[in-house]
Structure 1
Amino acid sequence: MKKILAIGFMSVSLAACTATERGAGIGAVGGAVVGGAVSGDVRGAAVGAAVGGVGGALIGSVQDQPGRCYYRDRYGNRYIDECR
């Protein structure tokens, strides 16, 4: 029952966030669950939360810009342009 309430409160709190913030939150929670399950300790959950949060934020930031994608040039610099 506590898990259901926690998930409910988290989903309500994410309702007022931007797509980037929602992506980071969902990615961090998912990464923590997977990291904790795979490693079986808190450090694995923390690493999973960090990686999932960054990945979720990157995915969420693209949602704020429909029709825009991230690319890298030959020097490794990241830029945003129309999706091809």
Structure 2
Amino acid sequence: MRTAIYGALMTSVIALSLTACTTDERRTAGYGVGGAAVGALAGGAIGGNARGALTGAAIGAAAGTLVGVAQTRNGVQYCRYRDHNGRVFEARCR
């Protein structure tokens, strides 16, 4: 069981490193892979079996993809910044 979890974790780390600073679609996929890895770890720890890990991976992948999609608007990535008065605003990432 640990070997499978470590394998999934290493795969997600490699996938996330390959998607850094690339197109929005790949970035969104990276969020999905990261969510799947975290979900698999949590599901395996809570459920104690492979079924729990698979369920957690599915839920985590869906949640991660939704977070990735929320980071973009019409294909443009937006980031949060603070101005000199401390107010938070969103603008295109630099």
TM-score (norm: length of structure 1): 0.62
Identity of aligned residues (%): 33
Is residue 22 from structure 1 mapped to residue 30 from structure 2 by the alignment? yes
The structure showing larger relative contact order (alpha-carbon pairs under 8 Å, at least 6 residues apart) is: 1
Structure 2 unpaired stretches of 5+: 80-94
CA offsets 1:15-42 (integer angstroms, 9 cap, x no match): 3562211110100000000000001000
Alignment RMSD (CA, Å) = 2.4
Q: Is the 8 A contact 1:28 1:49 kept in 2?
A: yes
**1:1-40 equivalent positions in 2, closer than 5 A:** 6=10, 9-15=14-20, 16=22, 18-40=26-48
For 2:14 and 2:31, locate their aligned partners in 1 and report how far apart those are by CA, in whole Å. Answer: 16
Does 2:51 match 1:51? Answer: no
One-letter code of the match for 2:71?
Answer: Q
Question: What's the TM-score once normalised by structure 2's chain length?
Answer: 0.56
Q: Which moved more, 1:58-67 or 1:39-48?
A: 58-67
User: Which structure 1 residue ranges, 5 or more long, are not aligned?
Assistant: 68-84
Count, aligned residues: 64
How far residue 62 of structure 1 moved from its aligned partner, in angstroms, is 1.1
Select between 43-52 and 16-25 the one with higher mean Cα deviation: 16-25
Equivalent position amino acid for 1:23 in 2: Y
